[in-house]
Structure 1
């Protein structure tokens, strides 16, 4: 069974050409990611309103529109709106804190969308998380339904000021906000725990749940037919297997603000993401703000560091941390968190555990642990301990090779304009973890006791390297790598023809980089390399390793790693390292591109890229359709799919069928904030519903 499962995984990941008409669209029995199948599932009963209806005691058909006005979700609405209002002033980043003084709302998530009747939540993913069965609150793990926020408004432009050449147009787009509705994977268990009764003798077993998911992974059906089978009495998403009695919580991840490249020049932009959890309270039929799993509250721990060290540095907790199963005590946890982009795990604000423990104490605890006859599998050093502790937090995990703060965005249906459409629904971390999750489902199905251990968030466990062979998900182009001597990471190498380059070097995690081409001439390769300097926790500066910024950042010009980009027919999309004050947009690291789509190399496809003037167009209030028509150009960009993801902080957008040079079945990699649905700025600030009829 295990061999078949691994074959199915590779069959899905390595499907590099266009999907056949009747293709398997369930990712290796652990996720439903095909947008057409998800739309059919939503129509068939998996809309968030239909699922919440019974739990809320509603007898009428509930529409997704105006959902936040329902009493059960008002705590969510109120908490989110308050966080949006508070975040600029509370940020440790000086640029963001300065935003609060300007009282300019244009760079923040517009809270009016939350209350608008035109806002909905679209189902964009169903994810099997039976690998979370080690937690005390569930025996068989969890099932997550992931929704994306979507608005549709009739914009009312200012008098005499047409928008994009038109007036009164309707604008519709997703926004960077996801909500995961989390269910107990075992039917009947949640209700029994709530009432303190034992499940009945006829209750569904974990093996039953797993077998249904494995069967689903072998279905070769068109989207509508697959959705119907998944919801049938035999499927894993039937009413008996997934219903409101199993609801456990809501998990929120949203971009609350974004600074453009012109206002945050060193990083080429800045975005902040709010993470929160709301647990379902059956007594009040509401979702209530709660502590976040493993999200350390720095203020609480800094107030009593010895207490945290005493709790954490025990054999039991070192064992669980080493195997990726640690559950931090509630008394050390926060109720909300902010992660930042770009820069991933190199950013200090994403390292919530930084400086909370003394390295000498960690070193002693690890040596004593081994001396008592215990084995360390992953955490073999102080640096390994610190990285593992951090990547088990919400902020650390979400910003490890993420996509603009997300690991799962969902792909867009064919009906979405290509200029605003996502092609690959998840990050490299999401797809690289599929073999481990699949193995656990197989163990459950066989009636065994699964091994719930996992590798670092940044690197799949070596035992799954063979299952990921042929992809870039283990040590291929774009993977996180390590060039030092630390025992915890010394095997984090790059495959042949690649080198480990420090795109975002950091004193917090020294030696880490990104696998890029050895020659530095492949499309998509970085064209800037830099170092992140931290003045204090949460306040970072990005310094390019080039003479143009060496003086300001106290960097030795001899460390300049400027790659050879003056190649015939190539260009560099970048936040200008040779002239940092030039307003060019771009992203730190930049990317090598083919200037035209003529004679593209194997790693490239033809796509569209924003050109100078795009950000100004969006900021001026013009419709994104107008801006993408007037301020984009075709270019040879890095091609991408599920098996060959983009570099960290880039997103795989849908391919362009109208471009003859575009490769079928491939998307193209670009910075995510060039996609309208992944930025909170530039969207309508007022619309017809806000204005009284004259």
Structure 2
């Protein structure tokens, strides 16, 4: 066998084996930009969560979707409160400035036609089935759609476009198989040897909408940033806002963060604190398994 032929054969085997490994393993994350863009254009866009078709810009969404409008106003209230608190502590914040000072999110980004939330990832969280099972719920984990704030506009004849560290996580529960199990659900995340992880395969398989039920919308957003020139000991500093919203048509509800006890309230209520300690002791097995969820009354 010639050296050139051997090299070609080795390359062919390596490529084939890599393809085989990808095909045989279950898909846990979809992060291919082309696939995500196609999903975004085929009914998995951020606006679809609020029942808005057509343009996905945030001005349209803010004007036409009451639920999104309410979420933006809630975030604006949180940001204003944080800004006032930091100003009272001697740390004023600014939306637009070139100086070496603290910056705060400009809320206009959430209601402009120059911005939208783009789909940047899809996560298979079949492992969350254990959390549901611990609570006696018959769900087969979750599917999570991650959306990130992006903008694009023209200024002085140039297109300015980028993304901001402002993310929403749309969580859907996965329905079980007809027999109540999750074998079929798990199998749909594993492509066959002759299948590729493309838009058609995803929509016709693990992302088939009939098997997904919307649960909640989670926010994880950087709303404050202090530059390294100001925070020299930390190389910069940032503050993030985290919230969970339930959406039912035009109605929006606020949910507590998972496994995040209200420390201030527990410190003031000895009976509630003792009740939490008793509850944890009674559920030590679930804690050891890593699938423990603290009841809402303690959050």
| Map of 1:347 onto structure 2 | none
Which residue, 79, 82, 92 being the options, matches 1:87?
Answer: 82
1: CA distance between counterparts of 2:20 and 2:200? 14
Q: Quote the offset at 1:181 in angstroms.
A: 1.0
Q: How does 1:517-528 map to 2 (within 5 A)?
A: none
| Map of 1:123 onto structure 2 | 119
Which residue, 187, 190, 201 being the options, matches 1:214?
Answer: 190
The alignment status of 1:288 with 2:253, answered yes or no, reads yes
Preserved contact between residue 35 and residue 199 of structure 2 (Cα < 8 Å): yes
Secondary structure of residue in 2 paired with 1:77: helix
Secondary structure of residue in 1 paired with 2:219: strand
Q: How does 1:457-476 map to 2 (within 5 A)?
A: none
2: CA distance between counterparts of 1:264 and 1:176? 19
- Using CA pairs below 8 Å that are at least 6 residues apart, which structure has the higher relative contact order? 2
| Map of 1:315 onto structure 2 | 281
Preserved contact between residue 129 and residue 142 of structure 1 (Cα < 8 Å): yes
Secondary structure of residue in 1 paired with 2:43: helix
1: CA distance between counterparts of 2:115 and 2:179? 38
Indicate how the Cα distance of structure 1 residues 26 and 123 shifts in structure 2: closer, same or farther if over 3 A, else same.
farther
2: CA distance between counterparts of 1:36 and 1:153? 22
| Map of 1:329 onto structure 2 | 295
Which residue, 46, 64, 82 being the options, matches 2:56?
Answer: 64
The structure where strand makes up a greater share of residues is: 2
Which residue, 39, 46, 50 being the options, matches 2:37?
Answer: 39
The alignment status of 1:269 with 2:241, answered yes or no, reads no
Indicate how the Cα distance of structure 1 residues 319 and 177 shifts in structure 2: closer, same or farther if over 3 A, else same.
same
Q: Deviations over 1:442-486 (max 9, x none)?
A: xxxxxxxxxxxxxxxxxxxxxxxxxxxxxxxxxxxxxxxxxxxxx
Preserved contact between residue 218 and residue 244 of structure 2 (Cα < 8 Å): yes
Indicate how the Cα distance of structure 1 residues 271 and 285 shifts in structure 2: closer, same or farther if over 3 A, else same.
same
| Map of 1:588 onto structure 2 | none
2: CA distance between counterparts of 1:63 and 1:27? 36
Which residue, 59, 73, 79 being the options, matches 1:78?
Answer: 73
Preserved contact between residue 26 and residue 189 of structure 2 (Cα < 8 Å): no
2: CA distance between counterparts of 1:36 and 1:84? 34
| Map of 2:246 onto structure 1 | 279
Q: Quote the offset at 1:256 in angstroms.
A: 0.4
| Map of 2:165 onto structure 1 | 176
Question: Greater CA radius of gyration, 1 or 2?
Answer: 1
Runs (4+) off by over 6 Å:
20-23
Indicate how the Cα distance of structure 1 residues 315 and 22 shifts in structure 2: closer, same or farther if over 3 A, else same.
closer
1: CA distance between counterparts of 2:78 and 2:250? 23
2: CA distance between counterparts of 1:178 and 1:25? 30
Preserved contact between residue 176 and residue 254 of structure 1 (Cα < 8 Å): yes
Preserved contact between residue 126 and residue 144 of structure 1 (Cα < 8 Å): yes
Indicate how the Cα distance of structure 1 residues 28 and 206 shifts in structure 2: closer, same or farther if over 3 A, else same.
closer
Structure 2: stretches of 5+ with no match in the other structure: 1-14, 97-102
1: CA distance between counterparts of 2:200 and 2:165? 29
Structure 1: stretches of 5+ with no match in the other structure: 1-16, 156-166, 188-200, 334-694
The structure where helix makes up a greater share of residues is: 2
Alpha-carbon RMSD: 3.0
| Map of 1:114 onto structure 2 | 110
1: CA distance between counterparts of 2:203 and 2:277? 43
The alignment status of 1:301 with 2:266, answered yes or no, reads yes
Secondary structure of residue in 2 paired with 1:98: coil
